[in-house]
Chain A
Amino acid sequence: MSDPEKKRSLWQRIKGPVLFAGVSLAVIWGLLPLVPLSWGVHFGVAYLIFFSLAVLSAALFFVLLNWGPIGKPNSPLMTFASILLVYVATVGGLVAFGLWYYPQFEIPKPVVEKEKPEETAAEERGKEVFLSPTVGCFACHSIEALGIRGGTRGPDLSEVGKQAEVRQPGISAEDYLRESIVNPWACFTPLPGGELVECQPTADPAKTYPPLMPPGFGERLSEEQLNNLIAFLKSLKGVP
């Protein structure tokens, strides 16, 4: 077979899938973003990438379908190398999807033993309550001083034990912490870096955290869990 014939035959094999991929990608990136939001069919960029990957994979699959018989490797080494290549490429593609493409949630950083402050038994149990996924405190709160990297929607609690002493004049740190867990919307925590020290009776987007903390922890936590959690939070006074 001459070179032009080879090229023609290659083009014949890939023509359909290439056209399909080209038209599909043009629709995905050219037309879909132009659709008005009000139509309810506006896909975000993550979905556009997802559809593009799907289209390219489908096109590649049809190229393989059209390809026709391939040759057999001509040495044992090449055979083993080709088998390994197919296997590793398959697994590598799957890792790429799970690791690179799909968004990852945050995990708390393991606590470094030597940095741990001395904890009483109640504080230790309170920390377990804090870290428990069923209670879920760390989903919104971090404690950078202990290396606990949780969510950032709520305030960092590294110094909450110290701050609790001055958040509400005339109210003890323990009572303030209890109220902020059981009835979180009673008083709103000032944003970090501002002038406010005391908590505020109303939420102010410029000065306080919004009312994000869900009420109902009074019912969800047992009295013992609540006491332990307060003991733990009270012990947090910044980097030891």
Chain B
Amino acid sequence: MPVDIPGLGARNALWLVAQLHLFFAAFVLGAPIFIVISEYLGLRTQDQRYERLAQETMKVVAIAYSLTAIFGVLFAFVLMGPYQPLTNYLFKTLYPLWTLYGLFILLETVCMYLYWYTWGPLSKTPGRKWAHISLGVLLNILGTIVMLLMNAVGGFMNTPPKEIEAASLWEMVNNAAWWPLNLHRFLGNVTFGGFVVALFAAFMFLTSPKEEDRKFYDWMGYIGNLIGVGTLMTMPLAGYILSKELFLYDAQLATFMMADKLSGYFVVQGLLVVLLFLGANFYMWLSMQRIEGGLRFEPHMKAIFAVLLAGGIIWVVPQNFFPDLLAKPPPGVSEQALILPERFAFLGLMVAKALAVTAIIIMTFVTYLLYRRARATGKILWGRIDPMAQYVLIFIPAVAVYLMGLMGAIRELTRMDYHIYGLIKDVTPYWYTVTLGHSSIMVAITTILFFVLQAFIFWVGFVMGKVYE
């Protein structure tokens, strides 16, 4: 290893900057998808709230874009230092891909600034508005291409072609993990974008002194959460497709992920998804209470929450408490005490887990049906929501950001002691799989740093702006 980073260690340093780059990248790629849809809805329905939602979110994106670039550059610096041999190999092997990446980043940046700074001038007539929406669509196309290019590199590191010497560039790009990763990240980015918008709305709701603003941010939080939850429901399937491809590529990965060193990570992943669904349903229930007559659904909601909690426990309960395949029980503890008892062994199987998650998804859908029912029979009093709902909208992004960080760690750690699985060994002092505890701390640090930076963006872009006005 050419150089290390004293104190922090090369892996931790790379982890911090790469993860922060990815958090911001996910937001600036995911949010414009629904920004442009919202702008279109504003034009079509003439409801000004859609236009304002699109414009305010785009303002956050425009500021976040700079931070994405800053962390991207730091990511590259750390790669070029301690991980120089790997960086050289990736640049040499996938050179045309990097050239395209540079080109599309440039085009995306130009398009992003055009989209943001022409918002006013291109909103004056419907014809111009269509031109602006087209610019937004182009921004999304360019952003998606950038994502596809980098997913090819990430996928290549996980599942390079088995006969690498004879592989063409296209075979390296179109590796086993590429399309599943594209699907997973596309949906993940939209979910993430939705939840960050909800976080923004909650922040603004709680800091807005004007009733009119609170009405708007209440509505915005509702829409952000709706987008987040709507796409979240598809994520287990997308995750399953990605895992299946990894398993088909090399069956050893299945054991490593589900029964060995990463099995504990999946227990925490289950917990996080359960918390997301609980939070989303709780928010919907609080939203229902600001509809006239909405309180009448309380008994239904309590039953739904009981099913969600029971499903959540089944999903999270581990088949065993061994951190890896070869671990021994601690002194004085029998092996049997760390495994599910015989008659409840089925709770550790995928059938039980799949049934539990299906029940959770169905119950979430029922909550939305109840909300629609309440809305059909009563008036929504925007801005009159219990402030607790805003704290739920802060809780949900905290869990969503943490989940995204943990899932990223899982995908990276499936490479075991390889930089590029089966091809280039990690010969640095950090070649080994880190414990769940270590990952938990790293993910927590990046999650909190992301929140602090987002809060800074909200404050600089909106709170300070209003003080000045």
Instruction: Name the residue on A nearest B272 (C-beta).
Output: A94
Q: Which residues of A contact B256 (CB under 8 A)?
A: 133
Does A42 sit within 8 A of B, measured CB to CB?
Answer: yes
Q: Are B340 and A47 in contact (CB-based, < 8 A)?
A: yes
Number of B residues with CB within 8 Å of any CB on chain A? 73
Does A196 sit within 8 A of B, measured CB to CB?
Answer: no
* A-contact bits for B280-321, CB 8 A (1 contact / 0 none): 001001000000000000000110010001000100111001
Instruction: Name the residue on B nearest A111 (C-beta).
Output: B429
Q: Are B448 and A91 in contact (CB-based, < 8 A)?
A: yes
Q: Are A83 and B203 in contact (CB-based, < 8 A)?
A: yes
Instruction: Name the residue on B nearest A103 (C-beta).
Output: B323
Q: Which residues of A contact B212 (CB under 8 A)?
A: none
CB distance from A23 to the nearest CB of B (A): 15
Contact A107 to B434, CB < 8 A, known contacts A83-B394, A86-B391: yes
Interface residues of A in 131-146 (CB under 8 A from B): 131-134, 136, 139-140
Number of A residues with CB within 8 Å of any CB on chain B? 62
Looking at chain B's contact residues, the main secondary structure is: helix
Does B336 sit within 8 A of A, measured CB to CB?
Answer: yes
Does B63 sit within 8 A of A, measured CB to CB?
Answer: no
Q: Which residues of B contact A46 (CB under 8 A)?
A: 321, 337-338
Q: Which residues of B contact A4 (CB under 8 A)?
A: none
Q: Are B444 and A92 in contact (CB-based, < 8 A)?
A: yes
Q: Which residues of A contact B305 (CB under 8 A)?
A: 61-62, 65
Contact partner of A99 among B207, B301, B344, B436, CB < 8 A? B436
Contact A76 to B207, CB < 8 A, known contacts A95-B444, A104-B435: yes
Q: Are A98 and B261 in contact (CB-based, < 8 A)?
A: no
Q: Which residues of B contact A108 (CB under 8 A)?
A: 432
Looking at chain A's contact residues, the main secondary structure is: helix
Q: Are A103 and B264 in contact (CB-based, < 8 A)?
A: yes
Q: Are A104 and B437 in contact (CB-based, < 8 A)?
A: yes
Q: Are A95 and B441 in contact (CB-based, < 8 A)?
A: yes
Does B380 sit within 8 A of A, measured CB to CB?
Answer: no
State A50–B340 Cα separation when bound (angstroms): 12
Does A45 sit within 8 A of B, measured CB to CB?
Answer: yes
Contact partner of A110 among B268, B343, B425, B430, CB < 8 A? B430
Q: Which residues of A contact B181 (CB under 8 A)?
A: none
Q: Are A134 and B416 in contact (CB-based, < 8 A)?
A: yes
Q: Which residues of B contact A84 (CB under 8 A)?
A: 455
Does A69 sit within 8 A of B, measured CB to CB?
Answer: yes
State A104–B416 Cα separation when bound (angstroms): 17
Q: Are A98 and B386 in contact (CB-based, < 8 A)?
A: no
Q: Which residues of B contact A140 (CB under 8 A)?
A: 326
Contact A86 to B394, CB < 8 A, known contacts A91-B444, A91-B447, A111-B429: yes
Q: Are A90 and B395 in contact (CB-based, < 8 A)?
A: yes
- The count of A-to-B residue pairs whose CB atoms sit within 8 angstroms is 171
Q: Are A69 and B437 in contact (CB-based, < 8 A)?
A: no
Q: Are B322 and A72 in contact (CB-based, < 8 A)?
A: no
Instruction: Name the residue on A nearest B302 (C-beta).
Output: A65
State A138–B99 Cα separation when bound (angstroms): 42
CB distance from B8 to the nearest CB of A (A): 14
Does A121 sit within 8 A of B, measured CB to CB?
Answer: no
Instruction: Name the residue on B nearest A106 (C-beta).
Output: B327
* B-contact bits for A65-105, CB 8 A (1 contact / 0 none): 10111111100100110111011101110110111101111
Contact partner of B386 among A41, A61, A69, A76, CB < 8 A? A69
State A71–B391 Cα separation when bound (angstroms): 12
Contact A86 to B395, CB < 8 A, known contacts A72-B387, A91-B402, A97-B268: yes
Q: Are A94 and B399 in contact (CB-based, < 8 A)?
A: yes
Q: Are A98 and B343 in contact (CB-based, < 8 A)?
A: no
Q: Are B267 and A128 in contact (CB-based, < 8 A)?
A: no
Interface residues of B in 146-187 (CB under 8 A from A): none
Does A10 sit within 8 A of B, measured CB to CB?
Answer: no
Q: Which residues of A contact B339 (CB under 8 A)?
A: 44
Q: Which residues of B contact A65 (CB under 8 A)?
A: 282, 285, 301-302, 305
Contact partner of A102 among B206, B264, B398, CB < 8 A? B264
Q: Which residues of B contact A98 (CB under 8 A)?
A: 264, 268, 436-437, 439-440
Interface residues of B in 188-224 (CB under 8 A from A): 202-203, 206-207
* B-contact bits for A107-120, CB 8 A (1 contact / 0 none): 11011000000000
Q: Are B323 and A79 in contact (CB-based, < 8 A)?
A: no
Does A58 sit within 8 A of B, measured CB to CB?
Answer: yes
* B-contact bits for A144-160, CB 8 A (1 contact / 0 none): 00000001110000000
Q: Which residues of B contact A71 (CB under 8 A)?
A: 387
Instruction: Name the residue on A nearest B385 (C-beta).
Output: A69
Q: Are B271 and A73 in contact (CB-based, < 8 A)?
A: no
CB distance from A236 to the nearest CB of B (A): 20
Q: Are A99 and B341 in contact (CB-based, < 8 A)?
A: no
Q: Are B338 and A44 in contact (CB-based, < 8 A)?
A: yes
Q: Are A153 and B264 in contact (CB-based, < 8 A)?
A: no
State A70–B386 Cα separation when bound (angstroms): 6
* A-contact bits for B214-239, CB 8 A (1 contact / 0 none): 00000000000000000000000000
4 new A-B contacts, CB < 8 A, other than A99-B440, A132-B417, are: A61-B309, A83-B455, A88-B448, A105-B327
Q: Return 26 A-B CB contacts under 8 Å, by A number.
A: A40-B341, A42-B336, A44-B333, A44-B336, A44-B338, A47-B317, A54-B316, A64-B282, A64-B388, A65-B301, A80-B207, A82-B206, A82-B391, A83-B206, A86-B398, A87-B398, A91-B398, A91-B444, A94-B268, A94-B440, A98-B437, A98-B440, A99-B440, A102-B323, A105-B323, A105-B433
**Chain A interfacial positions (CB closer than 8 Å to B):** 39-47, 50-51, 54, 58, 61-62, 64-65, 67-73, 76, 79-80, 82-84, 86-88, 90-92, 94-95, 97-100, 102-108, 110-111, 128, 131-134, 136, 139-140, 151-153
